[in-house]
Amino acid sequence: MKKITLSTLSLALLAAAGAAQAQSSVTLYGAIDDGIQYVNNTGGKSQIGLADSTVVSNRWGLKGTEDLGGGLKAIFQLENGFSVNTGKLGVANTIFNRQAYVGLASDHYGTLTLGRQYDAVTDLVQGLTGDAWTYLFATPGDVDNNDNSARFNNSVKYLSPVFSGLQVEGTYSFGGVAGAPGSGQSWSAAATYGIGQLSLAAGYLSMRNAASATDRTEWSSPTSGSAVIDSNINRAFETAASIDIAQIAAQYVWGPITGSIRYSNALYRPDGQSAFTSIQRYNVGSALLQYQVTPALAVALDYAYVNGSGNEFANGSSSQSYNQVGVGAQYGISKRTSFYAIGAYQHASSGHTASIASSGFDSSTQNQVIGVIGMNHKF
């Protein structure tokens, strides 16, 4: 009888332990993307070589959740970006450069997180744009942070539940520039609404004081290794008192066809160290058309237009413009592995030189072409 009692107790303890363990989880995940890239003009020369993170940014991370009861969970996420071709960190001396946060998630009240995070516009608006397909479809020079060049330290984020198709998010970064109280602060707010096949999103991002330069220049381009803002399109505006960006996007799905459009406006205001003297404005418009040919094969066509005005450039003009066209195809051989072929062409206005998307490659002429053939694997 005693043996039976002990055996029953042991089974009960094991069952309880299993139930407790099922309420908490930690997941290791990541993605590896690499390919062969051709650039027809970078610094006056053509270039062929390996290029990673064309479709999916190389990363690995840990995310976890613990059920606290009553629909409340403790959550965390740590995510690192890296180059598969060199093994280097995405940002020097920063192991979790992409994300590092902890917080609480409620089924009824939303999610509150603290740490290094993306802004609200990136979270809720970017997914409806061409950048969700490949960074080669992103805004030239990433002047409007469409390719999320900026990530924010010391930030607080709130994401609401979905109410009748509507979801909102807000973020605030305390900054933290030594010796300069108030410098480095930023905030963002965005909302998305979905009804049937239609999705709408809009948001606003404001980066103040040193954060407008520090946050953006600390991130490195996946292909060139140079800072994304270090492009001939907006290099003169690297140091700014503030950068304010508004963006709206819409997407509609017709069976296998998905179409999306977006518009953004970015304002760069000078400070005492700026190489420009008046507000620089960038107006950006783009459109993306995708077609799911088969469950495995998808093709896309993207167009982006950028107009910059407000300052006199080295060539004497007071405006600049860029027309960029991209095409691509992705073929999935499994749920986790895909092959792709992506190409982009850009033409700059007279007196200016091309630099496709956020590649960091500066052409010596008004035109530039980039093509990549590669594969990615997610785990």
> Would you state the pLDDT for residue 312?
72
> Would you state the pLDDT for residue 181?
55
> Would you state the pLDDT for residue 13?
39
Query: What gap in Å lies between CA 343 and CA 62, rounded to an integer?
Result: 33
> Would you state the pLDDT for residue 212?
40
Q: Where do the domains of the chain lie? A: 31-378
> Would you state the pLDDT for residue 128?
96
Closest to 136 in 3D by CA, of 326, 340, 264? 326
Give the DSSP per-residue string, 252-309: EEETTEEEEEEEEEEEEE--TT-S--S-EEEEEEEEEEEEE-SSSEEEEEEEEEEEEE
Q: Which amino acid is at 152?
A: F
CA distance readout (Å), 172 to 116, 120, 152, 157, 189:
11, 10, 9, 7, 9
H runs (alpha helix) in 110-189: 120-124
> Would you state the pLDDT for residue 234?
80
Query: What gap in Å lies between CA 167 and CA 309, rounded to an integer?
Result: 34
> Would you state the pLDDT for residue 210?
44
Q: pTM score, two decimals?
A: 0.85
> Would you state the pLDDT for residue 158?
98
Which stretches of the chain score pLDDT less than 70?
1-22, 176-183, 209-230, 314-317
> Would you state the pLDDT for residue 222?
35
> Would you state the pLDDT for residue 146?
92
What architecture (CATH level 2) is domain 31-378? Answer: Beta Barrel (2.40)
